[in-house]
A and B are shown apart, each in its own frame.
Chain A
Amino acid sequence: MRLCHWVNVVSLFVLVGSGLQIFRAFPSFGAKIPQKDLLHWPKAFALGAWLGGALQWHLTFMWIYMATGLLYLGYQIFSGNYKQVLFMPRDVPGVWPMVRHYFFFGPKPPVKETYNPLQKHAYTSVIGLGVLSVLTGLAVWKPVQFSWLAWMMGGFHLARLWHFLVMWAILAFVFGHLVMVILHGWNNFVSMLTGWKKDPEYLSK
């Protein structure tokens, strides 16, 4: 699973970079939205040098991304591990205290499980977003063969917009995630590399 995580870090980096480059070729989503200068994205952030190159990166790495995603989901379901991560209705009351603790310096809520409610919310959401990024991507890549998918999204132009927006949502997660990783120290980070953690908090109860 750590393998999936780190492979996907690379995949996501490539997909976002090349995706932005594809976007730069024509920054608009359809006739009704102004064609020029909707969003100018600096070349420094785009991967692939030119549209053809960007498409090669994007169309290659999307398979790696989808494969690791399926591997992750398969593992979570078959191992039962999903119970630790999945955000459930009973987790809802726990979210605000965590947000208050992190962002507004509120008191630290007691540590009860491996993942606190805010984490569960984030990690469940990002998987949902990952699935959406694939579905919207498929609708954009093959609007004819997956015409039903494109239709469900409101049409080809809107599918492209959703694909773009889902990317931003995932990036927002990555940003928050990185902030949390940094705040939570070296030991926690290392555990993502090795799978073992020195003195985890939830054990001391």
Chain B
Amino acid sequence: MTSLVDNRKFKGINRRELLKLAPVVALGAFAIPKLQKPLLKTGLGFSDWASSKLFRSGHLAPTFADSELTPFSKFPINDYDVDDPQVDIDRWTLTVSGAAQTPGEYTLAQIQALPKVRQNTRHVCVEGWDVIGRFGGVCLSDFLKMIGADTTARFVTVECADDYYESLDMATAMHPQSLLCYEMYDELLTRQHGAPLRLTLPTKIGYKQAKYLTALKVTHVLEKFGYWEDQGYSYFYGL
């Protein structure tokens, strides 16, 4: 766009045009400490909302051949406060509560009676590493059916023996690859990997796949989001 104007008009135009840039200064709000936290929380919340919209219940995470598996010895272990919360495996039960027709204690045998699923999927850690692991267990959706869960409820929450805790949106809980996992690499879970039961969720980031499960609740309202979410990490974190 070219036109010729005299000097005085030029100065007036300059002032007006600079004002048009004012919205850029609005971004400066991010630099104000008090506003930063709520602004970033909103940003993350928006990202999570967009993520939930992008999630497709029928879309499967990539699976891999056995030859592509990361060796078990190279599968890293992250924990909350202890490597092994000394779960008494023989007396362990999963305490089910919330919007379910048959809440109560469930034994590992009852869970293992459901159809067995084995899958080789990628486990991605928020830290930046990822490995391909072999996970065996039962579909979380089958278990939810067994307990008569109200699948119109929005969330499934879990608690763990090491005081870790997490929550899931129902859509992910019902996803065909979401497992109550009790085996890795065709062997029962070792203590370090979350014995006797953990979540395996190939459509979610690693920290949502809680180990050492002790309780599961189906709920319409979330009271606690998750250990890492409470530190400021994303709640939905779907892959």
**Chain A interface residues (CB < 8 Å from chain B):** 2-3, 6-7, 10-11, 14, 22-23, 25-28, 30-31, 35, 51-53, 55-57, 59-64, 142-145, 147, 156-157, 190, 193-196, 198, 200, 203
Contact = CB atoms under 8 A, between A and B. Distances in A.
B14 A194 contact: yes
B82 interface: no
A59 B127 contact: no
Given A63-B47, A203-B2, A142 B239 contact: yes
A31 B130 CA distance: 8
B18 to A, nearest CB: 6
27 contacts: A2-B17, A3-B23, A3-B24, A6-B21, A7-B27, A26-B127, A26-B128, A28-B129, A52-B228, A52-B233, A53-B40, A55-B233, A55-B234, A56-B40, A56-B43, A57-B40, A59-B234, A60-B39, A60-B40, A60-B43, A63-B50, A142-B238, A142-B239, A147-B61, A193-B17, A194-B13, A196-B14
B43 A63 contact: yes
Interface stretch (B51-59, B101-109, B162-170, B188-196): B51-59
Contacts of B130: 30, 156-157
A145 B43 contact: no
B128 A61 contact: no
A31 B131 CA distance: 8
Contacts of A28: 128-129
B126 A51 contact: yes
A59 B10 contact: no
Contact of A144 (B10, B14, B129, B203): B203
Contacts of B228: 52
B137 interface: no
A7 B61 contact: no
Interface residues of B, number: 50
B208 interface: no
B44 interface: yes
Nearest to B16: A194
Contacts of B148: none
A22 B128 CA distance: 8
A143 B2 contact: no
B117 to A, nearest CB: 17
Contacts of A143: 62, 122, 124, 239
Nearest to A59: B47
A52 B231 contact: yes
A84 to B, nearest CB: 10
Contacts of A145: 54-56, 59, 238-239
Interface in B55-91: 55-56, 59, 61-62, 70, 74
A53 B232 CA distance: 7
Given A59-B44, A63-B47, A193 B127 contact: no
A7 B51 contact: no
A52 B232 contact: yes
Contacts of A10: 24, 27
B129 A2 contact: no
B232 A56 contact: yes
Contact of B24 (A6, A27, A30, A157): A6
Contact of B126 (A55, A195, A203): A55
A175 to B, nearest CB: 22
B226 interface: no
Nearest to A143: B239
